[in-house]
Structure 1
Amino acid sequence: MAPKFKDGDIVASFSAKWISWIHTGVAYTAFLGALIVGCWLHYTKIVQNEHYGYPQEWFPSVSATIGDRYPERSVFQLFIALTSGPRFALVTAWYVLTKRADSSLPKFVAGVGIFRTLTCGGWTYVTSTDDHNWHDVFMISYLVATLPWTLGCLALSPQNPTSIKYRKFFAGSFFATLVPLIYFFIQHKVHKVAGAYTTYAFFEWALVLLDVAFDAVTVIDFENFEIVVKDLSGISRGRDNKAVVDKILEKDKNKEVAQVFGNQFSYGAAFDALADVYNGFVFWSILTSLGVCVWYFPLWHMGISGWEVMVMSTISPLLLAIRPFRGFAMRNLRLFHLSALPGLLAFLIKKPELRLLAVGAGVWMSCLSWAATFYAERSQPHRLEARISAFTLGLLASSIAKFAWWTNNPIWPIMHGPNGGWNKVGFGLAVLAILRSTGSSANSSIDVASSRSRKGSPVLAGLGLAGLFFAMHSMLSDSSTMILWVWEGFPVRGPFAVHGVLTFFAMGGGLALGLFYPAFARGWTFYGIGCVGAAMVTGSHNWFGFYGALALATYTMGVAPSLISSAVQHSPAKTFGIGFLLYNFLVLAHVWVVAYAFVPGGPLMREHTDWVVSAMMLFIGAGVFSSTASASSTSLPKGKGKMPNPAARKQRSYYIYVLLALELYAIAVAYLRFPTYNYTPYHAKDKVITAGIWTIHFSLDNDMWSSEVRMRDAIKELELDVVGLLESDLQRIIMGNRDTTQFLAEDLGMYVDYGPGPDKHTWGAALLSKFPIVNSTHHLLPSPVGELAPAIHATIDAYGTLVDVFVFHSGQEEDPEDRKLQTEYLSKLMGSVTDRPAILLSYLVTKPKQGNYNEYVSDVSGMRDIDGSDWDRWCEYILYKGLRRTGYARVSRGTITDTEIQVGKFTIGENTQSSDEIIPEASVAEGLRFPALFRGEGVRGHRYHVFNEPRYYA
């Protein structure tokens, strides 16, 4: 064997601390040098942003300093290039210092360090001006890699109290700075607060200084670490320099951090955890798809269709009451999980009825499989914990996938290639995940009774599961659900879509709390916190209500391990069977609060979301009572969640790694999705407002496909600057907990007001606008008998002129008294705005020039019909005042929905007189014309109809 070291003459030697000093000095020179040069040469330019300049903004951001202008950009790029050499040397020296034969963590940290260095070069030399997308990709990658680099360096830090103290200080300060950084960025970007960007810039510079300072601590660690250059290769390694985590293990092997993270990394075990979590993701994907597929049928039947019975597909665990069948299921878990996959293959079926049946079969087998899986692991707490972790992390993964796909799950059966589905990939990964994650279970060979006394009540445990599953599905299966519960319109006073990442943090934190502190998680104090959170999100709005949402998310995920662990001590038919049965009733009640006009006995539940939430928390409370009684069983940890053996400790760590990876991915998605607010109308030079109204039928097309992409294409090609969407509230289990407006707003570049939220019990009204929405108010119009009628009253800034836009959905034809009261309310509301131009985009349920029409178009409202000669209308109408109407068109619905698109063109200016004289298109300026794309046969089923062409007015 060749010797590890060879004798030779020493050419040079130096302390490794100089690598750190050079790295720190050159890095600070790069940033501070650019700041000094920029302030000296271009001060007023680099403090200018899209809203304000000097003196409101007086300190430049990092990005404005280093990327916008010569020569400061060149100063930064030169010195950051010089930093690269010391940087690679620092990462290498750190790896050599911390390398241990029994751990692969140093290799991982070194890899992350190299990756950060390369991505730093990416966002340095590809500025946002050069290529905004690639600049963001490199920047996001760098920021995401910061977390594992920081935590890895802390874990590997040699036993030096001084360096450990400084690392903790700089790392803690770095992550703490992110909170005010995000806050002031939102104040600047969303609220347009003068001076907010300057404050944001200080925190941004603090991040840079802290990031470099964290790595500068290596000066202390490298103090006695010498680099020697010989004429024959040789390198010095610190053989006996043990890391902090080693010392912890030697001192106290029972400490919890050491138990979980102090083990050698195994890629096989990591893949096992990933497969397990993906199997949980598949369960939640199939379960959450059932409701939206069922919803298709009452939509088209305008009432109960009979297919609603498929909601009961979840009660399959009742079959586990049959002992031979239960034993068969426990011995064949892989077969049962594979038999649930028709729920993913349903997208191949074109006929909606058969597709629903396939999804129902998938839900039936999936619920049965997971109930049997939990029960099979009941005698092995660490294996049971792994399954529960996979189940709950599967929900988190499903919600994050929807966050990345604008509230659609890419493997749902309403998705396919044309609308962004990843169904084939999802199915292939599901097969691989099931094959890997469903090996033999603890009790797979025989259905043995638990040797422990079964304390607690199976009925109460079943009630707890019902409340838990409903809370997870209704509140946490989409990150925007509770955000929209507290949404109150413009100006923004609460969270919006990208703040869903905070919900993910709460969910992850809750799960970790439930695993590490099970006694607290199943306790009544934590239950009280959950109840307070549920009350806050139900009864309050804006940020205060959202704080309650975060508390509820934390509690729901935190209590899940205790409730499921308690339930498996009893017959799965009694616990999971009863749980899913009662969960179904909560799902139905969740719909009846808004659909009361279409179901027998519905008026009893009218507008009583508070009843549903109260029942949910009472059910969970029943489960907590049973879990507390079961805690004396040795299967449930009584204090901290200390694992019984090293294998169990190692196993837990991989699920925590998966959790951290999911959170990092969510952060990256949130960064990419943050709105830019730099939107431009289609024909700004002509001061045109092109406004449309469309009833989108809950974003399900005639063939049961999600229709957002096709809607986006139609709105873009019609060049709509303002569009009202009706029947747009999809934030219920039965509708898939979706939000179409997120995709449309972000893809089209528009401001969005979701309208009255899900807690307002309407079918929804939303507004999209290329113009800034200065203010918006939500209204629930009088509806003593029928369904609630939603309305939005928004004020937009159109070319410097404030214009009021009303979006309104009237009550049904069967309720004439409701529609009369609503007409009076809205007419007075529109008439009260006498000093501003206004547009009504509406669904009125009346014939032209008859009945209620004569109050909408009257001296009370002050509104005019866009075309009084159009007799072929019943539902959709566009009214206006104070603007010059120049055009009107009706566009066929295609196969997207059951209602056409109506479009009007208006101009802003001194001339607000509209003539009823129809003129040829040739007489109209180019910017005032409707797109020719929709003439004749049109495109994708959309064409000008009724008049067979647009109408233009003198």
Structure 2
Amino acid sequence: MASKYKDKDTGIVLTFNGSLVSWIHTTTGYAAFLSALIVGVSLHYHKIVQNEFYGYPEEWFPSVSATIGDRYPERSFFMFFIAMSSGPRLALIGLWFLLTRKSGNRLPAFVAFMGVFRTATCGGWTFITSTDDHDWHDILMISYLVTTLPWTTGCIALSPPNPRAIKYRKYLATAFFTTLVPMIYYFIQHKVHRVAGAYTTYAFFEWALVLFDVAFDAVTALDFDTFEVTVRDVKGAGNGVIRYSIPSAVLEKEKEKATGGVFAFRFTWSQAFDIAADVYHGFVFWSILTSLGVLVWFFPLWYMGISGYEVLVMTTVSPFLLANRSMRSWVLSNLRTVHLLSLVGIAAYLVEEPVARLFAVGFGVVMACLGWVGTLYTESTHDGRLETKILGWMIGLILSSTVKYAWWTNNPIWAVMHAENGGWNGTGLFLGVLAVLRFTRKAPLTIGTYTNPAKSDSSLLASIGIGGLFFGLHSLLSDTSTMILWVWEGYPIRGPGAATHGWLTVGAMSLGLFGGLWNPNAASSWLVFIVGSAGAATLTCFSHWTGYYGALAIAAYLMAFSVPMLSHAAKLSPAKTFGLGFLIYNVLVLFHVWVVAYAFVPGGQLVREHTDWVMMSMMASIGAGVYGINSSRLHQQQPKRNSSIQQRRYFGVSTLLVNIFFLCAAFKRFPTNDYKSYHPEERILTAGIWTIHFSLDNDMWSSEYRIRDLIKELELDVIGLLETDNQRIIMGNRDTTQFLAEELGMYVDYGPGPNKHTWGAALLSKFPIVESKHHLLPSPVGELAPAIHATLDVYGQLVDVFVFHSGQEEDPEDRRLQSLYLADLMGSSPRPAFLLSYLVTEPLEGNYNTFVSEKSGMHDVDPSDWDRWCEYILFKRLKRVGYARVSRGSITDTELQVVKFRVPESSDEIAKLEALPEKKRNRRVDEDKVPEGWKFPAMFRGEGVRDHKYHVFDEPRYYNDA
């Protein structure tokens, strides 16, 4: 560094080498973190290594957040030096912009803006701690991490031809982003699995991120060495030029490789809007299609059998209409109108009456399928334009899955959503109109004539392949939690979690799609088909992580295969290929519903519990598509592709942005609850049982918000939910328990997964679930009866809870066998226990006397409650202090029953409870005779709130055996 003070006629006041800015920034940045670490370890070591679960010696190294957090004086050291680094930081960004700017290139300005914004967010999460404002701290931290990606890749792309600096940037950027993977893994081990010592390992990776982050910006010292910064009395500037032995073309190729070519094209707003319109319109298609099943499902629920409205699943076969010359000519000549009419499927939320809303969505599906098939056909003569539409369609699916994750498995523009339950329908419709207008702005290339494929180009094989492909995409990939729940087996957790690992599915989908794009021949080969089939088999046959590895393989394969399959199908007869293809898709949809709904459909017993047959049928259909592609004349000719590399990069950036959006949502959804019960001081456990009718209310609106509010207001610590398995096409591939668990601060066990062929049983608990097992009870004739047997840690006492849904009234032998099985299961528990159930029996009669018996050891929560048929709560070795029945309002068709238990503190107290005579056990007392913490909320007395009130007894019942 050359530093001089001058006072001559030149007017120069100060000059110094530009690298000094980098060194000052590096020094103050490291000083901020390291000084806080040294001071923190010296003064508060045991406090800063302590986390919510463990302390020293299990945890022995502090995390960054614990070190620079709220403790004085380490927080002050950090803030002082980080504030000192802000000036050099902004100067570094400014010098980088001056060094890299070129006429007509907007990238340097974009990277500089990202640098300034990133600096501002750093100041935000630094000076607003999680204690000050948890939400804003998280928002600013997420923003900082998100902007690190364009800043890092942008700096590599703009690097001057300095091979040493480029090498260091590549290494440090790779180290930074690679470190994120084990860091997140160990954080999950700590936060979700509570592994001792995991937080210490996480802390090392977190500190490594800090070191790599600051070091990456320190590399600018190698580039700024060519700068001389001069301060003079009048405006001035300086330049430096240096030559290197490595040709600049080689270095540019290295930079493009390091950044994935993301910045190696000229940005234009016109193309950006085109790609955004393609992707969003693809998202709208998948939103309309995935909403149809939810609305259709509403009607057989209320009819308790086939309603007739199920025929609307066939609206997808509308491409058959293109076989008519006049209809085909009209559709292809009016694609903008057709696509605009498809938005009726989004606008349907404005229709209150369920039947009319269903038909509106059905019409939207008709037009959406016609519009997209017509679009692919008209673009089929130009590979580049066809590829654009296929990518928009498939990235739209990735966006749909991402949006569903951000909205806890609901899509905010579905017709079962509105403002009251989290819907963004109006916004979605407005953006949909804009997207259609942009999507259809180019005139179609082909109207009214078919291509003439050779005899070897079979529309039949292509249609079978299309049917299998769309069924796989819809049934497995339209929600990131579907395949995770396939491999879920309860506690302790031995596999992926829906909230914590959902991005892995989206990541596999993204990689698969672009793998199929760059090498469609490989994606349509038999070897890759075998890999995809192995993934499907692994998912079907295995649980935990092993099964999920198969899920990732089939996710990548389906997305990769979509590119050659859709490209091939678009060049054939649209009516035959897509009309028949969607018909086959519908057959597979019905097949995968009938494997669980066999008791309600003609011939259903033939496919009972055969999800394996469904998966084999799907892969066999896709195999027909593979055969059709490989035997095709079009495939053998290998036509020259005229697609644009720049166009692909735009779609690559759009996919990257969708993935970043997913990761931001994942950060916000990461489990952070403290899981506190409502009345720990009195050792009260409040439990309930509720049949939630698949989270659709009586008016066909999604009911999660209303369910949440009632559970919260009743102060339930544990609740069993029945009719909860929505992870099928006909139910929208949803999971209500994710929303409830995160909103209410509860642990959740989904119960038997969607591949176990039940209607679902779930458990939510504010107490830790130590262990849980899933049971499928004997059901030789009727539908499968699911049960959960879980052990909770309740105030230090292990308590067993059983959640159970018995078979139908029409199957008495099933219910008798199930009562014997469950009585054995409950009787095997030596701990305090309670049952939350749907028994389908009269009080004091029949199977009731098997459930409530010496064999089970269970007692009825209120034997005098004669007005029950389905829901029952039983218990043993617990002190029952209150019981109430709460009306359902219009949420579902079944009331909510709730009970309050006092959990015993010792084995002696448990023994006394067991020895109580039944008459004394059931002695009721007035409400004013019980402590305040034992009472149910008063807000549900009288008329209650929102049609929820205490009913049957008109008030809660209280008990006291003292």
Normalising by the residue count of structure 1, what TM-score does the alignment of the two structures yield? 0.96
Shift in Å, 1:916: 1.3
Alignment counterpart, residue 519 of structure 1, candidates 509, 521, 538 = 521
**Contact 1:452 1:633 survives alignment (8 Å):** no
- What is the deviation of 1:236? 3.7
Q: Hey, what's the Cα distance between the residues in 2 that align with 1:381 and 1:311?
A: 32
- Relative to structure 2, which stretch is displaced further, 846-855 or 147-156? 147-156
Output the amino acid matched with 2:297.
W
* Aligned counterpart for 2:858 among listed residues 859, 863, 869: 863
Corresponding position: 1:332 with 2:334: yes
Given residue 689 of structure 1, which amino acid in structure 2 is its aligned partner? L
Could you give the per-residue CA deviations for residues 751-808 of structure 1, whole angstroms, max 9, x where no partner exists?
A: 0000000000000000000100000000000111100000000000000000000000
Partner in structure 2 of residue 685 of structure 1: 681
* Residue 256 (structure 1) shift: 13
1:930: which partner in 2?
A: 936
* DSSP-derived class of the 1:775 partner: strand
Deviation of the 1:98 alpha carbon:
1.2
Tell me which of 901, 908, 933 is aligned to 1:906.
Answer: 901
Cα distance in 1 between the residues matched to 2:273 and 2:873:
57
Q: Does 1:405 align with 2:407?
A: yes
- Say whether residues 1:644 and 2:642 are aligned partners: yes
Correspondences of 1:843-858 after superposition (within 5 Å) = 843-858=838-853
Inter-CA distance 950–263: structure 2 relative to 1 (3 Å threshold) = same
Contact 2:834 2:874 in 1 (8 A): yes
Matched, 1:753 2:753: no
Indicate which of 881, 889, 893 corresponds to 2:888: 893
Matched length: 940
Q: Distance in 2 between matches of 1:243 and 1:84?
A: 36
Aligned-pair distance for 1:313? 0.4
Q: Deviation of residue 249 (structure 1)?
A: 10
Partner-residue secondary structure (3-state), 2:85: helix
Give the aligned partner of residue 498 of structure 2: 497
Name the CA distance, whole Å, in 2 between partners of 1:249 and 1:69: 47
Task: Quote the Cα distance in structure 1 between the aligned partners of 2:761 and 2:638.
Answer: 48
One-letter amino acid of the counterpart of residue 810, structure 2:
E
Shift of 1:254: 13
Check the 8 A contact 2:256/2:264 in 1, yes or no. Answer: no
1:321-400 → structure 2 map (5 Å cutoff): 321-400=323-402
- Superimposed CA distance per residue, residues 284-332 of structure 1 (whole angstroms, 9 cap, x where no aligned partner): 0000000000000000000000000000000000111123322322221
Show the counterpart of 2:146: 144
Q: Tell me the secondary structure at the aligned position of residue 762 of structure 1.
A: coil
1:11 shift after superposition:
3.3
Indicate the residue corresponding to 2:578 in structure 1. Answer: 576
- What is the Cα-based RMSD across aligned positions, in Å? 2.1
- 8 Å contact from structure 1 (residues 10, 228) kept in 2: yes
Q: Which amino acid aligns with 2:278?
A: D
**Residue 918 in structure 1 maps to residue 913 in structure 2:** no
Give deviations 1:904-932, integer Å, cap 9, x for gaps: 00001254537211111111111000000
Superposition deviation, residue 271 in structure 1: 1.1
The aligned amino acid for 1:485 is W
2:69 matches 1:71: no
Conserved 8 A contact 1:14-1:228: yes
2: CA distance between counterparts of 1:246 and 1:367? 50
Q: 2:779 — aligned with what?
A: 783
Contact 2:451 2:573 (C-alpha < 8 Å) held by counterparts: no
Cα distance in structure 1, aligned partners of 2:945 and 2:677: 23
How far is 1:261 from its partner? 4.7
C-alpha separation in 2, matches of 1:296 and 1:16: 68
Structure 1 residue 9, shift from structure 2 partner: 4.0
- Which string of whole-angstrom CA distances, capped at 9 and with x for unpartnered residues, describes residues 123-143 of structure 1? 100111111111111111111
Deviations 1:69-122 (A, max 9, x none): 000000000000011111111111111111122321111111111111000001
In structure 2, what is the equivalent of residue 3 of structure 1? none
Q: 2:873 aligns with which of 872, 878, 888?
A: 878
Q: Which residue of 1 aligns with 2:196?
A: 194
Say if 2:49 and 2:66, in contact at 8 Å, map to a contact too: yes
Report what 1:953 is aligned to: 959
* Cα distance between partner residues in 1 of 2:83 and 2:258: 42
Give the distance between the partners of 2:381 and 2:263, measured in 1 at CA: 25
Match of 2:6 in 1: none
- Kindly provide the amino acid, as one letter, of the partner of residue 100 in structure 1: K
Q: Does the Cα contact within 8 Å between 2:228 and 2:239 map onto a contact in 1?
A: no
Alignment CA distance shift 1:952-1:206 (3 Å): same
Instruction: Tell me what 2:690 maps to.
Output: 694
User: Which stretch shifts more, 328-337 or 776-785?
Assistant: 328-337
The answer as to whether partners of 2:156 and 2:259 remain within 8 angstroms in 1 is no
Which residue is equivalent to 1:616? 618
Aligned equivalents of 2:695 and 2:594: distance in 1? Answer: 20
* Structure 1 residue aligned with 2:711: 715
One-letter amino acid of the counterpart of residue 17, structure 2: S
Q: Which one-letter code corresponds to 1:53 in the other structure?
A: G
CA–CA distance in structure 2, aligned partners of residues 522 and 156 of structure 1: 37
Deviation larger for 226-235 or 115-124:
226-235
Amino acid at match of 2:462: A
CA displacement at 1:241 relative to structure 2: 9.3
In structure 2, stretches of 5+ residues that fail to align are 1-8
| 783-792 or 257-266, larger mean C-alpha shift | 257-266
| Residue 727 (str. 1) matches residue 723 (str. 2) | yes
Deviates more, 1:578-587 or 1:162-171: 162-171
SS at match of 2:674: coil
- Aligned twin of 1:589: 591
- Taking a change above 3 Å as real, the CA distance of residues 455 and 149 of structure 1, as seen in their structure-2 partners, is farther
Structure 2 SS opposite 1:620: helix
Match of 2:650 among 651, 654, 659: 654
* SS across alignment from 1:339: helix
Residue 3 of structure 2 is matched in structure 1 by none
Task: Report which stretch shifted further, 588-597 or 100-109.
Answer: 100-109
Match of 1:827 among 817, 823, 826: 823
Q: SS at the partner of 1:626?
A: helix
- Give the 3-state SS of the residue equivalent to 1:890 in structure 2: strand
More deviation in 619-628 or 463-472? 619-628
Partner in structure 2 of residue 310 of structure 1: 312
Paired letter, 1:946: V
Code of the aligned partner of 1:750: M
Deviations 1:260-294 (A, max 9, x none): 75221111210111011110011000000000000
Q: In 1, Cα distance between the equivalents of 2:238 and 2:361? A: 62
For 2:258 and 2:156, locate their aligned partners in 1 and report how far apart those are by CA, in whole Å: 17
Deviation at 1:218, TM superposition (A): 1.1
How far apart, CA to CA, are the structure 2 residues paired with 1:635 and 1:119?
54
Letter of the 1:307 counterpart: Y
Aligned mates of 1:71, 1:594 — CA distance in 2: 62
Shift of 1:259: 7.7
Cα separation, 2, equivalents of 1:64 and 1:751: 26
Equivalence for 2:120: 118
Does structure 2 retain, via aligned residues, the 8 Å contact 1:812–1:819?
yes
- C-alpha separation in 1, matches of 2:836 and 2:792: 14
Q: Distance in 1 between matches of 2:260 and 2:751?
A: 50
Gapped regions of structure 1 (runs ≥ 5): 1-6
SS of corresponding position for 1:146: helix
Query: Quick one: distance in 2 between partners of 1:682 and 1:528?
Result: 53
Which residue does the alignment assign to 1:168?
A: 170
Separation in 1 of the partners of 2:461 and 2:323? 17
Distance in 2, Cα, partners of 1:682 & 1:716: 10
Deviation at 1:451, TM superposition (A): 7.7
- C-alpha distance in 2 between matches for 1:276 and 1:83: 43
Check whether the contact 2:154–2:263 (CA below 8 A) recurs between aligned residues: no
CA deviation profile, 1:177-220 (whole Å, cap 9, x unmatched): 11111111111111211111111110110111011111111111
- For the 8 Å contact 1:805–1:841, the answer to whether it is kept is yes
Report the Cα distance in structure 2 between the residues aligned to 1:275 and 1:228, rounded to whole angstroms.
48
Structure 1 counterpart SS, 2:342: coil
- Secondary structure at 1:945's aligned position in 2? coil
| Contact 2:472/2:618 (8 A) holds in 1 | yes
CA offset digits 1:424-468 (Å, max 9, x no partner): 111011001101111234425x33444875753211111111111
Q: Residue by residue, what CA displacement relative to the aligned partner does 1:593-641 show, whole Å, maximum 9, x if unpaired? A: 1000000010111000111111111111111222223475599678xxx
1:214 to 213, 216, 229: 216
